[in-house]
């Protein structure tokens, strides 16, 4: 779809004009643009198209983001020693926290965070530690925000039972005639289903508490400043009630993989244990005071659980003919799924070590 970015930007409560813009290509769902006003006194901005096919309730989603960023901003104002930033939502001229254009497309605007960078593959243990601390802090700072005030932006987002159900239906329907290409992957899923279902069972029974969690804690959703201090958490679309295991697990899936999420050479995919250890130490440092016994018992396993569930989602989308995640080539989703499953296997081999690392981090 052709987007008139300059025109869209003009509907927000900003002083400058968009002089130039650049598309950011990292996300799989929304579309993002860096806006440069070239004005010395007006900062840059970050404009995003919100994918309404996936996020059905944009009003609720934006209210969530405003509640969360408002809460964080107040907390940070009271705790000046916390060197942490929060995204700032810029309202639209009509006062709403999003802009609805003439083609019924939703847009939102943030101030741009200067001199920040992220990591797709984590380079060293210090960065992993910083990242773990930051996501742990994010969750801790939100602990006293009433969860029932937040909308579930994607219901059952990390509900494995529902994901498996959708997956089975896709396999049966075989819309894109691709099931014949994934026999090995179907077998892989079947073998592990029972064990993976222990997590939803613990959630259902209330043994794993519901908290306000981020739910999309890809490592590249942490912004680092120029001295590599983790200073801001971004991509808040899925902040809603969830389990802490979702957040810990998804960061390990992305940050402690030795390869990219869509690496074609599977021999490059492995769990980087020093990175895992450093992230775990940082995360536990920020969350130790609140973790329950059931959360601690399942923390290491959550990395495998999240890698498995995202693998199933990529595989389902491949079978469906690529309707959810943005892809760049025909079997992109299959490549992504294979990477996830390869990583699950690597984690299985290292399960004892991963558990020991959690216990060791708790003693520190
Ligand atoms: C999507 O668009 P992005 O990269 O922020 C997805 C996550 C997946 C991720 C896989 C709303 O996130 O759940 O883990 O791709 N977000 C949504 O890379 O489905
Ligand atoms: Mg996201």
pLDDT digits (tens, 9 = 90+) for 311-350: 999 999 999 999 999 999 999 999 999 999 999 999 999 9
Q: Considering every ligand atom, which ligand is closest to the CA of 54?
A: 1
| Helix/strand/coil for 63 | helix
CB 55 within 8 A of CB 79: no
pLDDT band at 264; cut points 50, 70, 90:
very high
Instruction: Quote the ligand 2 centre to 49 CA distance (angstroms).
Output: 12
Mean pLDDT of 41-56: 93
Q: What is the DSSP string of 150-205?
A: S--SSTTTT-HHHHHHHHHHHHHH-TTS-GGG-HHHHHHHHHHHHHHTHHHHHHHT
Instruction: Quote the ligand 1 centre to 211 CA distance (angstroms).
Output: 20
Which residue in 256, 325, 247 sits closest to 286, CA to CA? 247
Rounded-to-integer distance, Cα 332 and Cα 312, Å: 14
- The region that residue 151 occupies, defined by phi over 0 for left and psi between -120 and 50 for alpha, beta otherwise, is beta
The residue with tokens 């981090």 is: 361
Ligand 1 pocket mutation, candidates 26, 28, 223, 246, criterion most atoms within 8 A of CB: 28
Residues 276-311: tens digit of each pLDDT: 999 999 999 999 999 999 999 999 999 999 999 999
pLDDT band at 26; cut points 50, 70, 90:
confident
What is the structure's pLDDT at 16?
87
Angle at 293 between CA 290 and CA 296, to 5 degrees: 80
Rg over CA atoms, the chain: 20
pLDDT of residue 1 exceeding 80, the answer is no
Instruction: Quote the ligand 2 centre to 216 CA distance (angstroms).
Output: 6
Superfamily for 125-363? Aminoglycoside phosphotransferase (APH), C-terminal lobe (3.90.1200.10)
Rounded-to-integer distance, Cα 44 and Cα 10, Å: 14
Mean pLDDT of 142-153: 92
pLDDT of residue 121 exceeding 90, the answer is no
Look at strands 240-242 and 211-213 and give their pairing: antiparallel
What are the helix and strand counts (H, E) for the chain? Answer: 11, 10
What is the structure's pLDDT at 15?
83
pLDDT of residue 222 exceeding 90, the answer is yes
pLDDT of residue 123 exceeding 90, the answer is no
What is the structure's pLDDT at 39?
85
pTM: 0.96
- 264-291: burial string, b at 16+ Cβ within 10 Å, e else: eeeeebbbbeebbbbbbbbbbbbbeeeb
Both tokens assigned to 338? 């294979």
Q: Considering every ligand atom, which ligand is closest to the CA of 157?
A: 1
CB 110 within 8 A of CB 45: yes
Domain range summary for the chain, segments of one domain joined by + = 5-111, 125-363
The atom number, within ligand 1, closest to the CA of 55 reads 11
Ligand 1 pocket mutation, candidates 57, 160, 218, criterion most atoms within 8 A of CB: 218
Count of positions (residues) in the chain? 364
pLDDT of residue 243 exceeding 80, the answer is yes
Quote the mean pLDDT of the chain. 96
Give the percent of the chain with pLDDT over 90: 93
Break the chain down into helix, strand, coil percent, rounded to 5: 50, 15, 40
Q: Could you say which DSSP state residue 278 is in?
A: H
Rounded-to-integer distance, Cα 160 and Cα 138, Å: 24
Domain 5-111, classified CATH 3.20.20.70, yes or no: no
């Amino acid at each position: 779809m052709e987007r008139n970015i300059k025109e869209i930007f003009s509907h927000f409560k900003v002083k400058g004009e968009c002089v130039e813009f650049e598309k950011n290509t990292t996300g799989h769902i929304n579309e993002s643009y860096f806006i440069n006003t070239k004005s010395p006194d007006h900062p840059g901005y970050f404009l995003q198209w919100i994918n309404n096919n996936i996020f059905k309730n944009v009003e609720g989603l934006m209210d969530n983001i405003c509640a969360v960023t408002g809460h964080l901003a107040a907390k940070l104002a009271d705790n000046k020693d916390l060197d942490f930033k929060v995204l700032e939502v810029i309202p639209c001229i009509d006062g709403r926290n999003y802009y609805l254009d003439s083609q019924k497309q939703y847009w939102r605007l943030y101030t741009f965070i200067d001199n920040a960078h992220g990591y797709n593959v984590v380079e060293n243990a210090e960065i992993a530690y910083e990242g773990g601390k930051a996501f742990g802090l994010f969750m801790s700072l939100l602990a006293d925000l009433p969860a029932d005030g937040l909308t579930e932006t994607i219901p059952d987002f990390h509900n494995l039972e529902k994901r498996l159900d959708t997956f089975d239906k896709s396999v049966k329907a075989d819309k894109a005639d691709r099931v014949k290409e994934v026999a090995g992957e179907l077998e892989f899923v079947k073998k592990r289903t029972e064990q993976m279902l222990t997590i939803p069972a613990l959630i259902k029974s209330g043994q794993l508490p519901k908290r306000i969690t981020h739910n999309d804690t890809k490592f590249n959703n942490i912004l680092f400043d120029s001295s590599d201090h983790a200073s801001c958490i971004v991509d808040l679309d899925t902040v809603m009630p969830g389990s802490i295991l979702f957040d810990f697990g998804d960061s390990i899936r992305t940050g402690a993989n030795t390869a990219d999420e869509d690496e074609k050479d599977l021999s490059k995919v492995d769990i980087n244990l020093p990175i895992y250890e450093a992230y775990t130490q940082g995360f536990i440092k920020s969350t130790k005071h609140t973790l329950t016994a059931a959360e601690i018992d399942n923390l290491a396993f959550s990395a495998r659980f999240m890698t498995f569930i995202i693998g199933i989602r990529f595989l389902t989308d491949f079978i469906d003919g690529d309707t959810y995640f943005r892809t760049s080539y025909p079997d992109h989703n299959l490549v992504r799924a294979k990477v996830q499953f390869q990583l699950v296997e690597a984690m299985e081999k290292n399960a004892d070590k991963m558990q020991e690392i959690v216990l060791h981090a708790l003693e520190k």
